Amino acid sequence: MNEEKLQGIRPIENMTQVDRIEMNLHEYFRNENFAPGDSIPKEIELAEAMGVSRTAMREALTRFKTLGIIESRKNRGMIITQPDVLQNMNRVLNPRLLNQETMQDFFELRLVIEMGIADLLFVRRTDEDLKKLETIIAKEQSAVNKNERLKFDIEFHSMLYQISGNNTIERFQKILMPIFDYMNNGLHIRSQEENEDYVSHKVLLNILRNGTAEEFRVNMHKHLMQYFEQIK
């Protein structure tokens, strides 16, 4: 096995006590089938059961609170909650905090999602949705500069996420927007005149009206092709 791939694995014996407590708590919550709304033992009870100090246990529990896995409730103590995974992600997805490789990974992920939502669009699209897309396209065609065109380009794609009816996908797209903008500024985006294979938003809308999910997926790939070409 490649030794370089193993360098990032930290030996268990080098883990801090709080790290080990955190691992034990994860295993305990999983094995005991705790669900959102369930109360968990008190801090002192958990510390005594693991044979650790209350200070170390408190630090481990604070990590769970930060992640939204547990919270304190009046008259109930600590309970298991439903963590907002995307909110936690939103805290760290700042282009200034991430390296270029990580940002490119997320950028590519968004491109893949844009093609992958085709089936959801065809299941959930409505006449009202299509009219909204048509309005966005009309504004885009009347745009007088690059910034305006970019604004309506974002509106069009954001509307597709909204039409998908998947709240997680829609929120994920909004979280990724700063990264998309950051990467987009570093790419050479060809004009329609420069790109003879370009598929416009109008073409995508017509397919959404009268075509199939597969046709939409193929043409969305063509629409995004210049991004794929530049990230190879």
* Same domain (yes/no): 65, 117: no
* Same domain (yes/no): 112, 213: yes
Point out the domain boundary residue: 83, 98, 119. 83
Residue 192 in this model has a pLDDT that exceeds 90: no
Q: Which residues contact 40 (CB under 8 A, 6 or more apart)?
A: 29, 34, 46, 70, 77, 78, 79, 80
pLDDT (mean) for 24-36: 92
Point out the domain boundary residue: 83, 99, 123. 83
**How far lies 187's CA from each of 153, 180, 183, 191, in Å?**
16, 11, 7, 12
CATH of the domain at 147: 1.20.120.530
* Same domain (yes/no): 78, 92: no
Domain that holds residue 224: 88-230
Structural domains in the chain (count): 2
Residue 179 in this model has a pLDDT that exceeds 60: yes
* Same domain (yes/no): 204, 104: yes
Percent of the chain with pLDDT over 90: 47
Residue 13 maps to a domain:
yes
CATH of the domain at 42: 1.10.10.10
| pTM for the structure as a whole | 0.67
How far apart (Å, rounded) are the C-alpha atoms in residues 51 and 42? 14
Which pLDDT does position 57 carry in this prediction?
A: 94
What six digits make up the tokens of 141? Answer: 């065609």
* Same domain (yes/no): 51, 121: no
Which pLDDT does position 217 carry in this prediction?
A: 93
- pLDDT per residue as tens digits for the range 61-97: 999 998 889 998 888 889 999 887 777 777 767 767 7
How far apart (Å, rounded) are the C-alpha atoms in residues 223 and 5? 37
Point out the domain boundary residue: 62, 83, 104. 83
What six digits make up the tokens of 207? Answer: 């397919």
